[in-house]
Chains A and B, each alone.
Chain A
Amino acid sequence: MRQSEVITGQDFREMFTCATAWLEKNASEIDALNVFPVPDGDTGTNMLLTMHSCMEEAYRAPDNSASAIALAIGKGALMGARGNSGVILSQILRGLAQDVSGKESLTGADLANALEEASRMAYKGLSNPVEGTILTVIKDAASAAQKLVSEGDANLNSVMEAAVNAAKESVANTPTLLPILKESGVVDAGGQGLYTLLEGALHYLRGEAEQIQFRKPQIIASSIPLTARPPEMIAADEVPFGYCTEFMLKGQKLKPDKIRAKLEKKGESLIVVGDDTTTRIHIHTLDPGEVIHYAASLGTMHQISIRNMDEQHRDFLEMQKDKAPALDMAIVAVVSGNGLAEVFSSLGVTAIVPGGQTMNPSTKDILQAIESTSSDKVIVLPNNKNIVLAAEQVTSLTDKNVEIVATETIPQGIAALLAFDFEADLMTNARLMKQAISAVRSAEITRAVRSTKINSIKIKRKQAIGLLDGELVTVGDDTTSVLYDTLAKVDLDNQEIVTIYFGADTEQTEAEQASATIREQHPQLQVEVVRGDQPHYHYIVSVE
């Protein structure tokens, strides 16, 4: 491994060449991540084209000092910036260039300072900086580099390594900061792009420029669980995207700040960067004419690009369809309670129909859910005895190929869902899922709504009752004791996993306590406690 104290201008240029090559290998994967600000699927490509423009300029630099090369890269970035991420990247590179300006070569401390300036510059270009994007990633990378230097380690490789590691963590964290990423099940595309560039630069510093031709960058996995939604649900309810309008403005006394203030109300994702003689403008607007008209009054326009983003978005969806998990089948489930809804979504349910005991959804509700999915083949999980019939009516009302897997309880629904075979066809899956129902026992603890006598058990109104696979088996005053009594009817010693979904009326501590008690009595069991938030049922328990 090579350990350089300083890098010369030539090294600096080679480092960017290596970073660009590394990004190139990852560009199409990054395109597929793109959902923010507009899911048009071109982030990787735009960043790459921006880098190409930088490198072209870098080879035209007047001399080989770090300063000259950096300034050339900064200039190339401004001239060739494309798209949102490209423009922000260009700001980052210009910040970098500004800080390197005047230096013959770079030390680790110089690099840390340059990253800091790059981060500052990136934020400056935006009227409304959003966290969880490339901005957060450059900020985190820069501060990690600074921290290392302040701790006394100014080795160039170590500084870059600190920046790369921080960037990686930061990218993994983007879905926590930006909800659309979490919903779409991806990390931020621009952030990933920046990370890839930094990693490419590190490869160069380590003397691995040759080897990288045999390797491939990785898309970072999110630090939080992501539930990928099917593509057509992403941003489906948003306003029209309009036109992505980009151009470079040349003139005198352009005052980017003034231009930014003027254009702020004209659209979304506004970026105005540059100086008084050259300014790059990027905006998503419904009326590009107005923006162009205004800009023409300030100076001359160059590299004008106006693209219809609705078209881009459609192309992106087509691209996503190819990449989406091989689910040409959709699954619709009837579920109530936020926790349970999340459990079902996390296991791959496409659409959820709210409902359950005492709030049975209509056939029409289920039909609408089926029609809302993009698939022609749909599996329906009613998850309640009283809903099975309504669900079965649906098959004659739709042209889609619908299979009802008649689950009568939530645990049955989850067992069926888990048995879904990603490789199998609709009929096989319906069969596998039906088979799975019998492998699970369902216990449900609720309170009686009136006094009655069932299975020769006398029940008073509001007493806790325990049902096992839908049959009333116990009654008592305390829900937790009724839970134990119900489970006592199952031969727990021959079971493996008990999952307790506690309801909206049950405290988590109470559920944890019940779990501990069960585990104590049956040490071989794996007991899990999950917040179900379901109404009426204090506990829904699966035993398998």
Chain B
Amino acid sequence: MTVKIVTDSLSDITDDNSGGLDITVVPLTVLFGRETYLDRVTITTEEFYRRLTTQDIVPTTTQPTPQAFADVYNRLAEETDEILVITLSSKLSGTYQSAMGAIEMMEKKCRVEVIDSQTVAMALGLVVLAATRAAQEGMRLDALVDFVHQALSRAHFLVYFDTLKYLAKGGRIGKAQGMLGSMLSIKPIITIKEGEISPVTRVRSQAAGIEYLYNFATSFPHIEALAVEHSTQPEAADRLVDRLAVSLPDKLIVRSVVSPVLGTYAGPNAIAVTVLEGTGI
């Protein structure tokens, strides 16, 4: 039986970019005050960013309940005896705990392994896609766990934020706190390091930011896959994809949209790039 792969909506995997692979995406919840939405299920990314930028209310997010994971496990257990769950960083959300807690609530006997990816967005997404392909080729759960850990160490994620406003509002700023006090309007480039938001550098314009992302992506000697994401400007992300496609022909470039959950912090006009480094073999 094929190992079934489960992830959360922070992986930025959607029907459009998963190439028909069998991946179950458990949505986190986005709250605008008392209105709750399931990430990308009951609210589209477009609608989310429209409300984020036009309304005063600061959206918040919460992890899926253990029950949401348990329902998925129980359903998948009908079809398989091994499930692999890969969640976003446990330092940014309690999703990992929910996924773990749900194991206790299972009705049917089935092995479940949960991996805390210590990252987000397509850095998680590209690894999930690779793991799903490996599972379909017959890799079993124990080997998959090693495979995912190894792949995660090769996933490099950078995101350009057009503003620090949303990061500050959301409170989950980690080591980027030092960037907030700037007297100038600066735009940070951020990564996820050891599971937490961590500053990389600062630029003063989106053009300079995208240039930085481009140079970053093209600096790797071996690349297995790439991903480019936007929050509100698909054209800007598409232009970056076009440039990358020229310098890195034959490379898979996955397009996605930054999840509303991450968008709560990234705000509008953000652009993210992920490189899944190749092993060179």
- Interface residues in chain A, defined as those with a beta carbon under 8 Å from any beta carbon in chain B: 185, 211, 213-216, 218-222, 225-228, 325-326, 339, 342-343, 345-348, 414, 418-423, 496-497, 499, 526, 528, 530, 544
Note all chain A residues with C-beta closer than 8 A to B94.
Answer: 214-216
Is there a chain A Cβ closer than 8 Å to B18's Cβ? no
- Whole-angstrom CA separation of A419 from B97 in the bound complex: 38
Q: Are the C-beta atoms of B205 and A326 separated by less than 8 Å?
A: no
Q: Which residue of B lies closest to A327 (CB)?
A: B178
- A218 closest partner in B (C-beta): B171
B178 in complex: contacting residue of A185, A414, A528, CB < 8 Å:
A185
Report the separation of the CA atoms of residues A139 and B248 in the bound assembly, to the nearest whole angstrom.
Answer: 60
Q: Which residue of chain B has the shortest Cβ distance to A439 in the bound complex?
A: B208
In the bound complex, residues from chain A placing their C-beta under 8 Å from that of B186 are 347, 418
Q: Return B57 CB to nearest CB of chain A, in Å.
A: 13
Tell me, yes or no, whether B198 is within 8 Å of chain A by CB: yes
Given A216-B94, A221-B168, A226 contacting B203 (CB threshold 8 A): no
Say which residue of B168, B183, B202 sits within 8 Å of A418 (CB atoms). Answer: B202
Instruction: Identify which of residues 187-211 in chain B touch chain A, using a CB-to-CB cut-off of 8 Å.
Output: 191, 193, 198-205, 207-208
| Closest partner residue, chain A, to B175 (CB atom) | A325
Range, interface on chain B: 35 or more
Of residues 58 through 103 on chain B, the ones whose CB sits less than 8 Å from some CB of chain A are 62-63, 65-66, 94, 97-98, 101
Closest chain B residue to A216 by CB distance? B94
Interface flag for B105 (CB, 8 Å): no
Q: Are B199 and A418 in contact (CB under 8 A)?
A: no
Of the residues A346, A348, A421, contact of B200 by C-beta under 8 Å: A421
- Other A-B contacts than A214-B101, A216-B94, A423-B198, 6 sampled, CB-CB below 8 A, are A220-B171, A221-B173, A325-B177, A343-B183, A420-B202, A422-B199
Q: For residues 151 through 169 of chain B, which have their beta carbon under 8 Å from a beta carbon of chain A?
A: 168-169
Q: Which 8 A-B pairs have the closest CB atoms?
A: A225-B181, A214-B94, A346-B181, A496-B205, A227-B181, A218-B171, A214-B97, A343-B183
Given known pairs A211-B65, A346-B183, A418-B186, the reply for A219 and B201 (CB within 8 Å) is no
A414: contacting residue among B180, B184, B208, CB under 8 A? B184
Note all chain B residues with C-beta closer than 8 A to A348: 178
| CB atoms of B201 and A225 under 8 A apart | no
Which residues on B sit within 8 Å (CB–CB) of A544? 204-205
Q: Which of B63, B169, B177, B184 contacts A528 (CB 8 A)?
A: B184
In the assembled complex, the Cα of A414 lies from the Cα of B203 at a distance in Å of 11
Known: A214-B63, A326-B198. A497 touches B181 (CB 8 A): no
Q: B279 contacts the other chain (Cβ, under 8 Å)? A: no
A55 to B69, CA, bound (A): 34
B223 to chain A, nearest CB (A): 19
Known contacts A226-B180, A528-B184; A218/B172 CB under 8 A: yes
User: Which residues of B201-244 are within 8 A (CB) of A?
Assistant: 201-205, 207-208
- What's the Cα separation between A227 and B182 when bound, in Å? 8
Is B185 among interface residues, defined by CB-CB distance under 8 A? yes
* Bound CA–CA A421/B183 (angstroms): 19
Contacts of B66 in A (CB 8 A): 214
B177 touches A215 (CB 8 A): no
Task: Report the Cα distance A343→B181, complex, angstroms.
Answer: 9
Contacts of B193 in A (CB 8 A): 326, 423
- The residue in chain B whose Cβ has the minimal distance to the Cβ of A530 is B183
A440 nearest in chain B by CB position: B204
Q: How far is the CA of A128 from the CA of B208 in the complex (A)?
A: 52
Which B residues are in CB contact (< 8 Å) with A530?
A: 183-184
A-B residue pairs in contact (CB < 8 Å), sample of 28? A185-B177, A185-B178, A185-B181, A211-B65, A213-B97, A214-B66, A214-B94, A218-B172, A221-B173, A221-B180, A225-B181, A225-B182, A227-B181, A325-B177, A325-B199, A326-B198, A347-B184, A418-B201, A418-B202, A419-B201, A420-B202, A422-B199, A423-B191, A423-B198, A496-B207, A499-B184, A526-B205, A530-B184
A325 touches B168 (CB 8 A): no
* B-chain residues with CB within 8 Å of residue A418 when the two chains form the complex: 186, 201-204
Q: How many angstroms between the C-alpha atoms of A423 and B199 in the bound complex? A: 8
* Contact for A325 among B178, B184, B204, CB less than 8 A: B178
**Chain A residues near B181 (CB, 8 Å)?**
185, 225-228, 345-346
**Complex Cα–Cα for A368 and B76 (A):** 66
B182 CB contacts on chain A under 8 angstroms: 225, 346-347
A289 to chain B, nearest CB (A): 42
Residues of B within 8 A of A347 (CB): 182, 184, 186, 202
Q: Mark B7-32, 1 if CB is under 8 A from A, else 0.
A: 00000000000000000000000000
Contacts of A226 in B (CB 8 A): 177, 180-181
Contact status A221-B171, CB under 8 Å = yes
Query: Cα distance A348–B181 when bound, in Å?
Result: 9
Q: How far, in angstroms, from A419 to B212 measured CA to CA in the complex?
A: 10
In the bound complex, how far is the Cα of B267 from the Cα of A152, in angstroms? Answer: 37
- Selected contact of A215 from candidates B62, B184, B185, B203, CB within 8 Å: B62
Q: How far apart are A164's CB and chain B's nearest CB, in angstroms? A: 14
Give Cα A418 to B182, complex, Å: 11
